[in-house]
Amino acid sequence: MSLFDDDFYSSKVSRKTLREHLGNRKRGGRWLGRLRNQKSVQLVVLSSVTTVLVIAVLYGLLFGFSPSSRHGSSMDFSARAVEASDHIRPAVVSIINEQKFSLELGGGPLEQDAEQSGVYREIGVGSGVIVQKDEQYAYIVTNYHVVASAHRVKAVLTTGEQREAEVVGLDQITDLAVLKVDAAGIGQVAEIGDSSKLRAAEFVMAMGNPLGMGEAITFGVVSVIRETVPVSLAQNGVLDWEQEVIRVDAAINQGNSGGPLVDLNGRVVGINSMKISNFGVESIGYAIPINNVMPIVSELIDSGYVSRAYLGVMMLDLQQYWSRQELEAEIEGESTLNLPQEVYEGIIVLEALGPAKEAGLEFNDVIVKLDDTKIRNTRELRRYLYNQKQIGDSIVVHYYRGKELLTATVTLGENKPE
């Protein structure tokens, strides 16, 4: 007898065994088929769910999912922009700059303190945003250059109502101004954000009154979080100060100045200030970071001006003088400096006032150093004075009087407005 069961291993299989074997295969095949079908369905479902989740996450990352969003969850990008706009819009105002003109034929603008009869005419428009309110007044932030030359200022609310605005304080250095209007009926005050938390490529909106056309919103991204650009305080083409700004590609047109730069949570992160408008340049605008704005606003509301160290010199860049000398062989009323040949950068004292006069500085002295810091132009003098010195500090001024290098110790005063 074989060690194996012939009915199982032999090539000769009985019909009964064959029927039983085939029956078991059919039942097993149906079971395996059902199992394979179930696994296929599960795989399809799992793949679909995974795809949906991946798309949702990517959509959220690209279009506004943020733990700090107003509702703490992802929202439709367009809906977030609309909500942010609705949140801030009632606090945005238009600013009208008016000057008084003579009634005489061909009469020009009157002086600021003129008492003569005349008529007010609109000479410029800008924007502003309400950042503070008490029982009596609502306080509006705008740009210095929007209202600096105004004889009268009006604020236009989003309802279309015009209100007389009073200038609380101006600061040319930061290009900021604060106005106040009657608070009656004003319920919305802008929510202030944190400009230090801005990120490159973050979406922002510039709001205001471009070209006097009324309320408008432009959209873009933050290009550079922090940038320093040279500016002309007198707007005469002479670059005599440096402004710290946020660069954006949202359109900032004439009239947008002073309006808010807003994030997608409806919070003010900057004050629109200027743009580059050279031929071939597209969408390069600048806003003053709100973290720089609010301390100035508080000081303007409290004091009407920003207190800074005061040297007391009317000045001209030495390089400007050389340029002028090249254009004109002799300038009437302007004496020759007679400086050493190697001195070609510095600050010419046109008039010494207050602290500088008391220390002995005179007309045509040329300042070349403050303490141990070389001074080549007005920008560098202001930067050192405003960033490194306080009222009451002493400063050593190194200057040339003709070919002689002298020093004077100046006790800095305060730049109180006249």
Average pLDDT (198-226) is: 88
Domain 309-414 sits in CATH at: 2.30.42.10
Residues acting as catalytic residues: 145, 175, 257
pLDDT, tens digit, 9 for 90 and up, residues 61-114: 555 444 444 444 445 878 999 999 999 999 999 999 999 887 765 566 665 555
Domain map (residue ranges) of the chain: 13-62, 88-182, 192-303, 309-414
pLDDT of residue 4: 32
Predicted confidence band of residue 380 (pLDDT cuts 50, 70, 90): very high
Average pLDDT (327-342) is: 67
> What CA–CA distance (Å, rounded) separates 133 from 47?
56
Could you tell me the pTM of the whole model? Answer: 0.77
Task: List Cβ neighbours of 124 (8 Å cut-off, separation of 6 or more).
Answer: 96, 97, 146, 149, 150
Strands 267-275 and 191-192: parallel
CB contact at 8 A, 32 and 38: no
Do 309-414 and 192-303 have the same topology in CATH? no
Give the CATH fold of the 192-303 domain: Thrombin, subunit H (2.40.10)
pLDDT of residue 48: 60
Superfamily of domain 88-182: Trypsin-like serine proteases (2.40.10.10)
Average pLDDT (233-247) is: 88
